[in-house]
């Protein structure tokens, strides 16, 4: 990015306004998912859509190590431990979208409107995907939005790919890109 240099002292306000506008139209999208060592098709699918995202809306994946499962370990303790790891992976002040089958459904067009809103908000947006036993209830309560892709229970690797594809599709709608057709 090149720096804007004011030609005259009176131009400083105009330059500051352009720089602030530049910051406003950027949004960093982050998928924070419990689990690692996904099948190759999951990594390839996520990476395909992440690389299609524009510079003003980059998409990145952060994998959170799952808590080791033991026969005697209560599920609540597992999800709480994973919840702590998720929280530490979230950028400060980000907009938290928690994926949950009990959340709110939305159309891709509605998602595109949310992306536009997030761009103007200027905060990072984190999409949280829980582990095999779900998410800690406290983490779901802290969400800014509970989003349901489907009332079906989906494999978590597939959810990563679907979220990435839907973010790309929603972004393409905001730019009138031909990827999305109605």
pLDDT digits (tens, 9 = 90+) for 139-164: 999 999 999 999 888 999 999 999 99
**pLDDT at res. 4:** 45
**pLDDT at res. 72:** 84
Instruction: Please check whether residue 5 lies inside any domain of the structure.
Output: no
Instruction: Please check whether residue 3 lies inside any domain of the structure.
Output: no
> Which whole-number Å values give the CA distances from 104 to 5, 42, 53, 147, in the listed order?
46, 24, 24, 5
Cβ atoms 165, 49 nearer than 8 A: yes
Total domain count, the chain = 1
**pLDDT at res. 42:** 97
Name the pairing type of β-strands 29-34 and 59-64: parallel
Instruction: Please check whether residue 154 lies inside any domain of the structure.
Output: yes
List the structure tokens of 56. 């003003």
96: which strand partners? 126
**pLDDT at res. 65:** 94
**pLDDT at res. 22:** 46
**pLDDT at res. 109:** 94
Question: Model's pTM, two decimal places?
Answer: 0.84
What domain range is 170 assigned to? 27-174
Instruction: Please check whether residue 17 lies inside any domain of the structure.
Output: no
Chain-centroid distance, C-alpha 50: 11
**pLDDT at res. 36:** 85
Instruction: Please check whether residue 8 lies inside any domain of the structure.
Output: no
d(CA 57, CA 171): 8
List the structure tokens of 68. 């080791």
Phi/psi for 147 (5° steps) reads: -115, 130
Give the CATH number of the domain where residue 157 resides.
3.40.1280.10
Residues of the chain with pLDDT under 70: 1-25, 180-182
């Amino acid at each position: 990015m090149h720096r804007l240099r004011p030609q005259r002292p009176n131009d400083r306000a105009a330059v500051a306004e352009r720089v602030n506008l530049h910051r406003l139209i950027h949004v960093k999208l982050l998928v924070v998912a419990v689990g690692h060592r996904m099948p190759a098709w999951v990594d390839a699918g996520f990476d395909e859509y992440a690389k299609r995202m524009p510079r003003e809306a980059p998409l990145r994946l952060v994998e959170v190590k799952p808590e080791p499962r033991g026969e005697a370990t209560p599920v609540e303790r597992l999800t709480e431990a994973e919840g702590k790891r998720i929280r530490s992976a979230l950028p400060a002040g980000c907009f938290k979208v928690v994926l949950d089958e009990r959340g709110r459904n939305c159309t891709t067009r509605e998602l595109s409107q949310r992306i536009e809103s997030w761009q103007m908000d200027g905060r990072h947006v984190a999409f949280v995907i829980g582990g095999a036993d779900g998410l800690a209830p406290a983490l779901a309560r802290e969400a800014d939005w509970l989003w349901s892709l489907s009332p079906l229970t989906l494999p978590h690797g597939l959810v990563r790919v679907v979220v990435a594809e839907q973010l790309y599709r929603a972004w393409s709608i905001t730019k009138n890109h031909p990827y999305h057709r109605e």
